[in-house]
Amino acid sequence: MTRYVSTRGGVAPVDFETAVLQGFAPDGGLYVPATIPRISPEQLHLWSRLEFVDLAFEIISQFIDPAVMAADDLHRLLAGSFRQFEHPDIIPVVPLKSRPDTYIMELFHGPTLSFKDVAMGFLVNTVDYFLDRNNDWISLVVATTGDTGPAAAHAALGKKHIQCWVLFPQGMISDEQARQMTTLKADNVHAVGVTGCTDGGDDLDRVLARMFADDDLKQRLKLSSVNSINWCRVMVQAVHYFYSYFRVVEQIGEKVAFAVPTGAFGNLFGGYLARSLGLPVEAFILANNQNAALHRTLSTGRFTRAEVKPSLSSAIDIGVPYNFWRYLYFACGGNSAQIRQWMADLQQKGVVELDAETAGAIRQGFLSASVSDQETLDTMARVYQSPDGYVMDPHTAVALTAAEKCTGRLAAGTKVICLATAHAAKFPDTVKKALAPQGRLPGQAQHNTIENAKNLSQNMHIWDLPELASALPQAMQSAALYKP
Ligand SMILES: *Cc1c(COP(=O)(O)O)cnc(C)c1O
């Protein structure tokens, strides 16, 4: 029976439903499975022939009791979650001609063209499934400075038990991203542009934190979030590591490397989970941009909070990589007293000094690099001008550049799979800067959904930051139509 425990050790083990609906554990920790099963090489052989949804079903079945979600329901929810992906392979893997043994794993063929679609669809479908069974509803609130809001809004479209609110700092996200939220036509999805956010997303986070801390409000409006710490998201993010592995190896057992552009360590924790399940991984290449909290931690054994400087790869501009706590929990042998101490250290002193043993453990099978904006632009231009002619988004370029910096430390001939986390059409300004300062944007950097959204009418609330704390709950109250 799969049970979940908190990294802080302060709650009795819970089932999958509770872990998903709660997000954070009540003690402020993150839910992790009490045990991770080990998949045999024979089993991997069988899995290697499966299509994406069937493979996802096998992997995710390892973590959900049939008593909590029947196998048929799980399969149906998974199929529904990936139906809107526009590529027949769902997550295709493309070999590069210009670099030997290098592949691009395209995670951006979902409805909002970023990696966030990979797990958000299944998470929201799963939440709606449990709410339906419990005759309940929620107000799903997401503050976004990039890809999470659009993914959540699309995933929530038309869901009977979910009123979804996506908030963004007006004028501080790209027009392309804003329109992915404001041009949706559904009664249960509400876009909110907030003016006067001098601190960007942090201003919104502060207002939401106060709302979530108000127990009365929280219960009356059934406030809930779907942030990147939700166990369901990291679990789904293990699947693409298996799927792409099976596409590139000659035989099961061959070791490959994955280069992953990371900010919050969510996607990378999915990779770590895949390796723990038995996927043969030579190394993960952790790719930071100039905000290199994780690269520094791996290099020095010191985990510090740092000021975030905006970069061209904005989705990974993150100061405190929250999912890293899950990795530290396993690296220190599941010692929750130690995790509590370290979390207090980070809070109070702004720095965690890892002991030598843990500092060594987190380096096992991990390489890392930090990539500047200039290097990002150079890589985008070089790959476009190479025989590949491939247009990549800035996050993908961070991964490929980090892979290039780390190849010398891999066994010769190791295949490297770079994770492409966004479609180039989401970052037209950066693509233009890198590839065509004077000319036209290449066709590959355009996408019909982005182009179509330019002609649709926008539908949104616009509130000034000081009025948000009263206007939002009021609007939520009047939208709270569903009374079980
Ligand atoms: C969210 C995101 C990432 C990083 O996600 P992590 O959870 O930090 O791994 C990378 N690239 C893009 C485009 C994203 O939207």
Q: What separation in angstroms does the CA of 183 have from each of 180, 382, 473, 477?
A: 6, 35, 22, 23
Contact (CB, 8 A) for 124 and 112: no
Name the residue with tokens 């804003």: 178
Atom of ligand 1 nearest to the CA of 269: 9
CA distance 127 to 58: 20
426 is catalytic: no
Residue 82's pLDDT is what? 98
Contact (CB, 8 A) for 234 and 30: no
Ligand 1 centre from 266 Cα, in Å? Answer: 8
114 touches ligand 1 (CB under 6 Å): yes
Note the maximum CA span of the chain: 62
Pocket test for ligand 1, best of 116, 322, 421 (most atoms within 8 A of CB): 421
Burial degree of 309 (CB within 10 A; 0-12, 13-18, 19+): exposed
CA proximity to 119, closest of 128, 132, 110: 110
Closest residue CA from atom 11 of ligand 1: 421
pLDDT per position as a tens digit, 66-90 = 999 999 999 999 999 999 999 999 9
Residue 358 exposure: Cα atoms within 13 Å on the Cβ side:
21
Which run of H or E residues covers position 399? helix 394-406
326 touches ligand 1 (CB under 6 Å): no
Closest residue CA from atom 14 of ligand 1: 315
- Checking phi first, is residue 196 left (phi over 0); if not, alpha (psi -120 to 50) or beta? left
CA distance 175 to 204: 19
CA proximity to 403, closest of 298, 313, 290, 287: 287
Residue 200 exposure: Cα atoms within 13 Å on the Cβ side:
12
Ligand 1 centre from 354 Cα, in Å? Answer: 25
Pocket test for ligand 1, best of 120, 145, 147 (most atoms within 8 A of CB): 147
303 touches ligand 1 (CB under 6 Å): no
CA distance 23 to 228: 9
- Say how far residue 382 (Cα) sits from the centre of its chain: 27
121 touches ligand 1 (CB under 6 Å): no
Ligand 1 centre from 106 Cα, in Å? Answer: 13
Q: What's the length of the chain? A: 484
Residues 414, 415, 420, 425, CA torsion sign:
positive
Which of helix, strand or coil describes residue 77? helix
Q: What separation in angstroms does the CA of 132 have from each of 128, 129, 161, 174?
A: 6, 5, 7, 35
Ligand 1 centre from 315 Cα, in Å? Answer: 6
Contact (CB, 8 A) for 323 and 353: no
Cross-strand pairs, 43: none
Ligand 1 centre from 210 Cα, in Å? Answer: 26
pLDDT per position as a tens digit, 185-238 = 899 999 999 999 887 788 898 899 899 889 999 999 999 988 888 999 999 999
Per-residue pLDDT of the chain (484 residues), as tens digits, is 799 999 999 999 999 999 999 998 999 999 999 999 999 999 999 999 999 999 999 999 999 999 999 999 999 999 999 999 999 999 999 999 999 999 999 999 999 999 999 999 999 999 999 999 999 999 999 998 789 999 999 999 999 999 999 999 998 888 899 999 999 989 999 999 999 988 778 889 889 989 988 999 999 999 998 888 899 999 999 999 999 999 999 999 999 999 999 999 999 999 999 999 999 999 999 999 999 999 999 999 999 987 888 899 999 988 888 899 999 999 999 999 999 999 999 999 999 999 999 999 999 999 999 999 999 999 999 999 999 999 999 999 999 999 999 999 999 999 999 999 999 999 999 999 999 878 888 999 999 999 999 999 999 999 999 999 999 999 999 888 655 4
264 touches ligand 1 (CB under 6 Å): yes
Contact (CB, 8 A) for 162 and 188: yes
- Annotated active-site residue in 97, 116, 159, 222: 116
List the end-to-end C-alpha distance of the chain, in Å, as a whole number. Answer: 31
Burial degree of 320 (CB within 10 A; 0-12, 13-18, 19+): middle
108 touches ligand 1 (CB under 6 Å): no
Q: Cβ contacts of residue 175 below 8 Å, gap of 6+? A: none
- For the chain, the structural domain boundaries read 93-113+233-447
What would the two tokens of residue 92 be?
A: 């295709």
Tell me the CATH class for 93-113+233-447.
alpha beta
